[in-house]
Structure 1
């Protein structure tokens, strides 16, 4: 009401109504004026046209539906308010005249009905509460051990040289099946029923392989995976995901060797163990390096080569594609400058071949990618296992991840490079962040988290203020950009930033309450490097920020 009222007044009234409006839901519930409370908010603001008075109660709708309207917001408030009113057995009504003002009235029964006369109103899932939602297996009780005692495994019988596997799974029935099958395959088993215990066992016993569930108590499987790959002692251990939600591409980009979607069959479990066993028996990994510039060849091969790596060098795109038809590579390093900057042609060929899409590709360029190259990488991201890097340190980091190299066996200079990449505090420390968001609560919450990581914060309340703030603070290292803002929205602000040559490589992460399917594409096309939906998962945000700040 205050937002839409430039002059006049906003009045709150709480009373018993003299009469009840003829609304079917209210009549059906048998409201009586003497047993009803009416809470009204009346303003002298802009008012609402008659033809828009029902529309505004729909999700993501406002009287002015353009995204850069003067009065900003997500268009969710009234939709949520009406749903809540109905869940309480009441109703939210509107009386308005354009140009004169509006009255919203909440009618509530004084006492809740003894029995619900109508089925519950489904509340739409407007935004995700977690980046990765996980469905628990039927019969499982997250974090609850049926017998109250830890499950028995083989940790007390482990001997040097034993083939071991760590199962991190909170569904005891399923973990028992996995353990029985693993033991039949000759594995000694370790079992953890939550993420923290899993991390402890991985570091203590250094198993030959890990089977990881996503929906775990205390910390989820994604966090477990991130910590495993950040730890030099566990980074090389192959991890096979098993989950009820399909996020296969995300898992493999983190270095997983396989992903099985629950519910699973015995045959699928057998295939998963076969994948693990084949990976363990291959002591030499296959690497394809696609580069024709001699100085680049030497640098890449020295950086990612090793005794346990069998490297093939392709000097042309045609030769690289021929190698891919006959050999399964654990990792491909593609220099985008091959054949005078034609590296993208190989990506276009690979994305048309389903078998080739399974091989991880590290795109390496010591220059800024062209807009067409960046667009192609975005198009390939959903079909190809692709990572883009610009520094030698990041190239080494991604290559050792996909090749599952034991960090302790690497030369000291490479170990030092990897430690630099994985020093999470150092990457963020003293970096300046521009937060552009019209909701001060969001800015405050983000600033609190970032300041705890020793970052410096500057803010803008809309796109125009964000641009002005950026002009004053040229040392801004990264931008967090809201989309739905007054005066200038996030899309336009990002486009304006990218018009300036000096900001072409400035990392921008878009943050939006709209979790629609095409929003990510719109954000990336406008100039964002990455995208997160609100409410923001702060761990995921910090992880993304580290990636983009190090590139």
Structure 2
């Protein structure tokens, strides 16, 4: 059983993670329960105290309003009295609902009864005054009956407030004791987890280092002996993990290098003998000597025992090959002295301009004789000698063995050089013959001279043509290089354009999403329902625009080949669960049936890129739900072929009962910005990018997407990928990267925080109060939107529009708690600003969150290297921004 280092580490880390998770979950459960109960209690106590305070105020206002009306008869006092009475009655009812303890209800009932008595007395007083118009009697009744009741409301409410404050202090004491208990328990569990982690690490390191020592000892020993030995030793390690893989790979490399050493020796032998044969031809003045010298040298060099050299004769007997020289040749009835073109194997080799190799030579074909006996050869090689594409000679060799590939390569290279020497020598001999004849025939000398001049002119013309063609080839090469440079530059411009467009679109979109989210939340409650709905619509439209930007950049990224595939094991049931979580709410909303089916005979997992696979399935399911108005949508995961399971493929079929696609449109829908027809786009919406992105990603994963559809009945889109077994037969886990000249922005998903993230609802509001945050951005819209969001948390906000201004603000306000740093800034960009800031005393540990809308590849690493503490790409979600800032402010 293969137990890899990755598996060992994974099991160890999972064990450690289990203990750590157990500790954290235990602490979290206790703290959550404690905080939840304490928060509810505090909220109830604070609400009671606040309302009791309002009761104190209203008690005074009731008395003063009644007194004012009796003295001045002003209707405004009457209106204030009625308002105060109504508010007091409502507050008393609300407080009574909040009180839980019986003793609290008893103390509060006295206050409520007193207020009821005051209201009845004041109403009776006002009724008598309106009936009798006796102001003096009314004032007397007010002083003796109504006023004492009103004056008692204040002390009673004060007594109730003190009692509630006492209850609040008791609850705080209980909560503090519970916190101490949880902290003690967490410390004990942490110590236990540390000891277990140390023990697991020691055991794992011992198992790994023992095998590594075996490998290093073999390699070290070979390094010491490498000067005296060219044979690389083997490593004996039998562990079934990556160390075993290294040992096996080293052994395979040793075999390959040993073979390469043999090939290198053969190559040196070939180069040496080719050069030696070339030097042998120098100084030879006639064809017979050259042919004899060549056949005498080459025959034993290639381990042959018999050789004949035939030269093409062009002096009146065209297409005839005459024997010119031989090695170990014997006159017999079998051999002949010449061949015509196409006659025998020698003539056939010259006619077809090809080498003929025979490995099963008949016994009566030829006999190789020596002083001790004679025997038939085992192989025969007939090779033409050419010059400028024309056969001028043929050599025939016979051997008791077989002609090896390196020997045949030697013969081929030597024959090429020999053809040039033969042609040159033939020309020189022709010239000498002409000169000799010119001494006898003077008239023929002029004719021959003209012919020679014509030949020279042809040669010069050929040389000129050759030079012209060379120049044309150089020009064509230069043009191709220029085209390649322009193509690379165009790809670079396209990448920069997409990145700049991303920045220009995302920068205003960032402020739009933040402000619309603040309005839609309606924290202050000053917007009506229609205005909140408008804000939600603006926020949703901004998110739709962001998705469109992401789709366009994603498509460009795929077309440029700039996709990083991270392969790993993906559980098929997790794919099914992902689909149900994502689309069951959609199915319920549209009144459709949605189910997922995973065949039982499938493997548990698939080896592929999980993120890209999920994106393809999400796109296909989104299309199915968009174009299906009734019926059902189904995801079926199955074997795509019925043959061998080990070599089959796994299919992901998305089946719907939607509108369907005509056959002539089924290829069109996979093109970018294309749908089945214009009415589809008008009725159902969409950009037509999803299927184009999906089919490109499927091809990168080694798969395909097929569609079958019947208009009016539905469609089936099937994504087919290689199965896990087929993938693992090629190799283990790896990261596949496709590079190109284009560097497209990585804008698929928002960056995740390096620190812990949580919901805004779970953040401690006390962390924000009094903190000072500096926003560095050249876009006032972003500054305005972010400032409004942070000021809602009672944070003091400073801002700077460039790097130089940022440094100036920090000198004036060294107590800044956190910086939100934009990257693309005028004068001094964000990178240079952060590097300069980190060198300033006192700012080495200041939290800096880099925010940028131009999120190019490796920008996150560049920001962190420049000094950023964290990184987020625009447009940011307000909840994520709050969580990220809260995480850093809490440290």
TM-score by length of 1: 0.30
* Structure whose alpha-carbon radius of gyration is higher: 2
TM-score by length of 2: 0.19
Work out which structure has the larger RCO, using CA pairs closer than 8 Å and 6 or more positions apart in sequence.
1
- Identify, as 1 or 2, the structure richer in strand: 1
- Identify, as 1 or 2, the structure richer in helix: 2
